Chains A and B, each alone.
Chain A
Amino acid sequence: MNHPHLFASPSSTYASRRDFLRRAGSGCGLVALAAMLEQQGLLERDALAGDVRLNPMAPRPAHFLAKAKSVIWLFMNGGPSQVDTWDYKPELEKRDGQDLTGFDKNTGFFTEQVGPLMKSPFKFARQGQSGAWVSEIFPKMGEHVDRMAFLHSCYTQTNNHSPALFEINTGMSRMGFPCMGAWVTYGLGTENQNLPGFITMYDTLGRGLPKGHAQNWGAGFLPGVFQGTALNAQGAPINNLFRREGLSDAEQLAQLELLRKLNKHHPEAGEADLAARIESFELAYRMQMAAPEALDIDREPKAIRELYGIDNPKCAHFAKQVLTARRLVERGVRFVQIYSGGMENERSWDGHANIEQNHRQFAGETDIPIGALLNDLHERGLLESTLVVWNGEFGRLPIVQKGGTGRDHNPHAFTTWLAGGGVKGGVHYGATDEIGHKAVTDRVSINDLHATILHLLGIDHEKLTYRSNGRNFRLTDVAGHVVKEVVA
């Protein structure tokens, strides 16, 4: 059967309002009307310009030239401890067991379980040319420190999971604001129209979703198109992705053919919305094939699968997601976010009870796959255009949480590393105090972090705005400085 229209690339025939106005000027005597309406303040100042509204996912140019085209955000859910991972503190070892004078017991979550300073249970060693200190729990990631830029002085405003998750994802500790992935796809669209532009993956071992659930990848007041598509842990990875059993490809194509014909009879089929909707069916049809292909990691050669650790029962679940992320960015998906760990306590990096056991476990689940990802992206030449981000929603205290050997939440300091996508490798920016309790030098707020990531994507964070409820909103609200020191 011949269905040329189904496989044509997305047409660009939709008329935006601006096009309408432009054409109005050429053809008829009503041009004055448009001008008059505009002058009277009646033409809607569309939050979404016409072309974005009608083809919201079409790729759009950035504000300026930049290397990063896509983002893989590795989110260590629950809050990894900076002093046990990337922020080596010999002084903490010396002061092990001493009380931390002046400590505000409301810093962490358990105000009645404030113990003395506790040294890291892990050994640290220098890695790479840059000689970065790396915890023994990250042997594979440690091989890539010369590709990483470390922001040691990140901090958040709140000390508990969901507000901190909201803050690091949306810039606001309250619910209801668009997350970074939504802002980025709103700003840049996405390269592959047959796949969602923004995909999130959460724990597949049944340990739960990050606190606040889908709000973490929500679009807030941005149109719903821009929210993250969370791949389902069970069943079809994307809702309604598979044809019903018994319906063949040919039959579905016949349906689409009929749909196209019948839609034509509807008056004014040329109207932009209706044309866009006809197009959306053809996209959906293609997505049925493109998405399963993109998500099918069985197509990867054995060597690659082994590299990521898919045969290693300890990290297989995360390895599959990381490898999927690589396949997605390779196919033009703009933004991918993966959560390591589920809800809280022992189900995530939230090591309240026993930091050694907790972090050994979650490092064990993630180190090999992330090391492999950086290798693999590099070898494919994708690291240049892919920004990899690693962090959690906050850090952990240098003191022990009484009653165990764990650490409580610490909003004052945590480490983020960036790699690829125009990042300067082997750089350390900002510092915590000598025991890693608070970020003191060159502090990096979440707004700063967001501004920096947007900058690496070629977006001026002050210009990426959306009008809602009478106000222009930004991901960075009214703040944010780009940390230029980590930009190559």
Chain B
Amino acid sequence: MIARRVMSGLLLAWGPLAAIVPASEPTPAAIEQFEKQVRPLLAARCWKCHGDQKQQASLRLDSAAAVAAGGDSGPAVVPGDPEHSPMIQAIRYAEDPKMPPDGKLSDGEIALLTAWVKTGASWPRYSDDVQPADQVPATLPDPPPPGERDPLWALRPVADPDPPATQTTPPPKNMIDRFVQARLEQLGLAPAPAADKRTLVRRAYFDLLGLPPSLDEVAQFVNDVGEDAFARLVEKLLASPHYGERWGRHWLDVARYADSGGYETDMYFRNAWRYRDYVVKSFNDDKPYDRFVQEQIAADEIWPDDLSLDGTYVMPKSKIEHLEARIGTGLYALGTQIHESNMDGKKLDYERLTDWADTTGSVFLGLTVGCARCHDHKFDPIPQADYYRVVSTFTTTVRSEVELDFHPERYRAAQAAFDRDHAPLVDALAKFESQELPSRFAAFLAAPPKPMAPKWLIVDAANTKSDGGATFTPQSDGSYLVGGKNATNEVYTIVVQTKRQGITAVRLEALADDSLPKRGPGRAPNGNFALSNLQLWVAAAGAQGPGAPVKLTQPLATFSQESLPVASAIDDNKKSAWAVDPQVGQNQAASFEIETPVSNPQGTTLTFTLKFENNAGHNLGRFRLSLSTAAKPVGLEGDEAAERRIDEVNQALATPAAERTEAQRATLLDWYRRQDETWQKLNGAVQEHAKQTPKPELTKVMIASEGLPAIRFHTQGADFFDKTYYLRRGDLNQKVGEASSGFLQVLVRVPDGEQHWRSTPPAGSRLSLRRTGLAHWITDVDGGAGHLLARVIVNRLWQHHLGRGLVATPSDFGASGQRPSHPELLDYLAGQLIEGGWRLKDVHKLIMTSAVYMQSVGTDAPRAAADPDNILLWHRSRQRLEAEVIRDAMLAVSGQLDERMYGPGSLDETQRRRSIYFTVKRSQLVPSMMLFDAPDSLGGLGQRAATIVAPQALAMLNSALVQSSARALAHACLSAPGCTTEAAIQRAYQTGLARTADAEELADSVAFFTRAAETYKAAGKTDATEAALADFCQVLLGMNEFIYID
């Protein structure tokens, strides 16, 4: 039924609301009222309990049939008779049941439903009420007779056209020319003559690299008189790494590339730039396009390599490629992301899925699939069902961040080398411990030493408490690791019981830990903490309450942050504090003497309060407390080895040797060996070497995949929903059945249908392989969408080379898009791409070595008038450079360009790298890029605008970039040996425009320069010459010719 409707829809182009039920047909006005008021009201107030999720009293109110069928107590509605319709009685709250139970409807709403029942409770039915699951596959109707428009041309297989014969001169250079010239000949038109070499070389450099040729590069080409000089130039440029930067940027336009998620918080995608680099590299490597597409849709599924190396330390190249390919799925991950926390999670998820389905359709197939979210596509044979089936392919896919090791072989090798070096050290220690240590220990015990009294005694807490919701986990070394909530302000209360007498000082250690930000010791994002106050309360053991505060003096610390000294922790100023930035990530400590030493015969309760009120969330992440009974001045340093277990040791020593337990003997042995110099040396060597334990070189990558933890934003609830439903009119409240993963029916051309591309995941796999099916279908030239895929990409190449696509709507090959101007040529190019193994560089070369590409810009007024858009390709269309290229060209001609490739981007407009390395923050787009129509990256963009506005001219007049470029260019031109004014101006012309100035231009330029130089000299400027030439260079950069390329 769906299919039938689609076909008739194509012929009649009727809207989504056409009803198929002839009897009791509601009037259009009634339909409108129902859709605008009645259905939304039922959805909002009734369906929660009487819909597809719940059916209270067995009643559903979400379809005509359900309303008619009623529930436990019969029909809910008597059409035409509100007074006898139980539903109307219920909503009036006249008697029980009163519905809806959570609040009476407004009078207006009650009146609306009453009127609806009174007029027959009609419920419009649509063809798409049918569950789409049982539809038959759509098939393409036969093409119309020749000469008539075929709105479905793009969906038909690529033809293998014979290039027509041509007569005119210039003779065709390749097949492309025959298609184009034949068309011109039919109309009696001649193509424009070939462009001169200087024009060509500049055109080719900007086209392929997005950079101007240098003086030498121009000369090299101009002087190359070989027949195939241009073909060789094209090959050279295609081999340049800048090619990937130029054409990768074109791809990023359609991929809506950005480094942040947009919306309220516009959070950074910290690793999105790896997708940008992946694209650049893929173009440079001339990765077959079908492979490039498959990688972006499903690399994680198709090449699920793990890092196991089968016992070898050599990483196979294919395996690295498979890991890199996974970055391609970033295409999906870098779409916009809404963070609004308590919005309907399902709604958010449908926004994501819509973006992913839209992206798949428009980027790869040039089809606007997204329109079918709300209704069958008006113009294309894409039923709503297809949209939800594509969506369903992505339902359980999430945006995830994974760490990939692209060089596990290096890790393996390093680990092996480490193990090799480490083993002898461990062996030596073990040998000493088994052979020498026992006798030394026995000798030591024979003359037992006096009990030890280390300076600091680490103490355990009897009780801990956090005001802000933190938790304290005791560690084996006597420290406490803080977890749980990291409140803005905090107070930790630590209670310690001790029997020590004469306590003279306390020590607080702030310890690093791998689990803390920047390894701590604080919980602030930079690893810092800020202790605003430390107080100690003392009470006799068993007494009520914390007792009285004692005065702390002599603050000492291993390190204090500038202007946040340790003394601040015990002063009266609540806002001053002790902090340790930049020495974070390492252990720190502070000690304080107690003014009057503390003694209590029955023991003492010490209550420490640690306040963190100086800076938000700057709470301690791991700490340890110690006491000292040493004589003042106590000092900060101590002997950690002895501190921890001193009581146990002393107890063991006090026990007669024969009565010692095994544990006590072990304690004594451990205590002893730490004092043994040989053991210290051997153990030190082991510990020191262990610090060099190798780690894998992990690279964080944002991908889209299944079964991995999703990147969490400020959202709540599930990361995704297990199922996708067909929604009427795209409304989440109107589900009409579950959608299973599938493809666009109209492009399924194999007898076994979609099964052809489906694979079943192995048991226990985290992957569903749904995207694998999509990737294989979309690249399948025999029975899938491969022909359309090829047409769309060759058209994109053509568009960027010639200024206008053979299909002028590059992302809309549907019936509402443009027809191809040269359909046979488009098919020819698509065929060439497929036959050549999907290598894009071959297609570039084919296009660029055609006579069509090498034409000059035409000046023929009648032809310009008849075909101003140059649809017939009778000449070269002049092209304005894009925002990135304008900026890059200025940096290049002035010698300022930093050519380093790849890596994280930047928002700094003064950086000198190519503009593709600007970070794309969706809410903070780079102004100089936006000025010249760079995309906003919210949706894919197939073709940029080229506006002309005064703010662009303001930038050319006053921007820092233009001025610094002009100055640098002037400086370079003046630095050339034997430089006259004329020579400097000519050099600027050649550098900027790849040509010399003619006599008139030179005269005008010299006159300007002379006058400016005189003015500056008269004003006493010491650099008058350079300043004047810089003013001239700025004019040069502002010339139309600089950014409009012939």
Residues of chain A at the chain B interface (Cβ within 8 Å): 17, 20-21, 23-24, 27-31, 33-34, 37, 40-45, 53-54, 56-57, 101-104, 106, 109, 111, 158-163, 174-176, 193, 196, 211-215, 218, 220-221, 223-225, 227, 229, 238-244, 247, 250-252, 254-255, 257-259, 261-263, 265-269, 271, 273-274, 276-278, 280-281, 283-285, 287-288, 433, 438, 440-441, 469-471
Contacts and interface: CB of A to CB of B under 8 A. Distances in A.
Given A265-B1000, A268-B857, A277 B865 contact: no
A268 B924 CA distance: 38
A162 B821 CA distance: 43
B867 A37 contact: yes
Given A20-B865, A43-B869, A174-B351, A276 B371 contact: no
Contacts of A159: 342-343
A441 B340 contact: no
Question: Which among B362, B866, B878 has the highest number of chain A CB atoms within 10 Å?
Answer: B866
A284 B954 contact: yes
Nearest to B1008: A258
B816 A471 contact: yes
A20 B865 CA distance: 5
Given A37-B867, A42-B821, A258-B1008, A213 B266 contact: yes
Given A213-B923, A287-B950, A33 B1005 contact: no
Interface string B326-367: 000000000010101111000000010000000000100000
A252 B362 contact: no
A240 B1004 contact: no
14 contacts: A17-B868, A27-B862, A34-B867, A37-B871, A42-B871, A104-B102, A160-B264, A162-B340, A176-B336, A176-B936, A224-B945, A280-B952, A284-B953, A470-B812
A196 B931 CA distance: 13
A273 B879 CA distance: 10
A247 B962 CA distance: 14
B149 A41 contact: yes
B939 to A, nearest CB: 6
A53 B948 CA distance: 8
B818 interface: yes
Interface stretch (B667-675, B782-790, B892-900, B1035-1043): B1035-1043
B866 A263 contact: no
Nearest to A222: B945
A102 B952 CA distance: 56
Given A28-B865, A211-B264, A263-B1040, 6 more contacts: A27-B862, A33-B867, A162-B263, A238-B951, A251-B1012, A263-B1041
Top 6 closest A-B pairs, CB basis? Answer: A102-B103, A176-B938, A30-B866, A284-B953, A28-B862, A162-B264
Interface string B1016-1044: 00000000000000011011101111001
A33 B264 contact: no
Contact of B371 (A218, A241, A257, A471): A471
Contacts of B1031: 247, 251, 254-255
B957 interface: yes
A64 B148 CA distance: 39
B859 interface: yes
Contacts of A109: 341-342
Interface of B: 102-104, 106, 108, 149, 187, 262-264, 266, 336, 338, 340-343, 351, 362, 368, 371, 379, 808-809, 811-812, 814, 816-819, 821, 857, 859, 861-869, 871-872, 878, 880, 922-925, 927, 930-931, 933, 936, 938-939, 945-959, 963, 998, 1000-1001, 1004-1005, 1008, 1011-1012, 1015, 1031-1032, 1034-1036, 1038-1041, 1044, 1046
Given A242-B958, A266-B1039, A471-B816, A33 B811 contact: no
Given A23-B865, A469-B362, A258 B951 contact: no
A255 B1035 contact: yes
A101 B341 CA distance: 25
Contact of A244 (B864, B945, B963, B1039): B963
Contacts of A254: 1008, 1011-1012, 1031
B368 A471 contact: yes
Contact of A101 (B103, B808, B871): B103
Contact of B1039 (A212, A220, A224, A259): A259
A42 B805 CA distance: 11
Nearest to B1003: A261
B826 to A, nearest CB: 13
A40 B187 CA distance: 15
A220 B264 contact: no
Nearest to A263: B1040
A42 B343 contact: no
Contacts of B1032: 258
B1040 A278 contact: yes
B407 to A, nearest CB: 39
B812 A223 contact: no
A175 B263 contact: yes
Contacts of A28: 862, 865-866
Contacts of A250: 1015
Contact of B948 (A20, A54, A239): A54
A160 B862 CA distance: 58
A27 B149 CA distance: 30
A258 B1035 contact: yes
A259 B939 contact: no
Nearest to B336: A175
A86 to B, nearest CB: 21
A223 B947 CA distance: 7
B103 A223 contact: no
A288 B957 CA distance: 10
B812 A469 contact: yes
B938 A175 contact: yes
Contacts of A42: 808, 818-819, 821, 871
A23 B865 CA distance: 7
Contacts of B336: 174-176
Contacts of B1011: 254
B1004 A261 contact: yes
Contacts of A41: 149, 818-819
A476 to B, nearest CB: 14
Nearest to B368: A470
Contacts of B818: 41-42, 44-45
Contacts of A111: 342
Contacts of B1001: 262, 265
Contact of A33 (B187, B808, B936): B187
Contact of A212 (B263, B857, B950): B263
Given A102-B103, A214-B923, A266-B1040, A225 B949 contact: yes
B990 to A, nearest CB: 15
B819 A212 contact: no
Contacts of A242: 958
A441 B865 contact: no
Given A254-B1012, A276-B948, A24 B866 contact: yes
A71 B219 CA distance: 57
A48 to B, nearest CB: 8
Given A215-B923, A259-B1038, A259-B1039, A267 B859 contact: yes
A27 B860 CA distance: 13
A470 B379 contact: yes
A57 B949 contact: yes
B727 to A, nearest CB: 16
A188 B948 CA distance: 18
A240 B809 contact: no
Contacts of A215: 262, 922-923
Given A57-B949, A163-B340, A265-B998, A24 B264 contact: no
Contact of B958 (A45, A175, A196, A241): A241
Contacts of A30: 862-863, 865-867
A20 B866 CA distance: 7
B108 A102 contact: no
Contact of A240 (B263, B342, B922, B955): B955
A40 B819 CA distance: 8
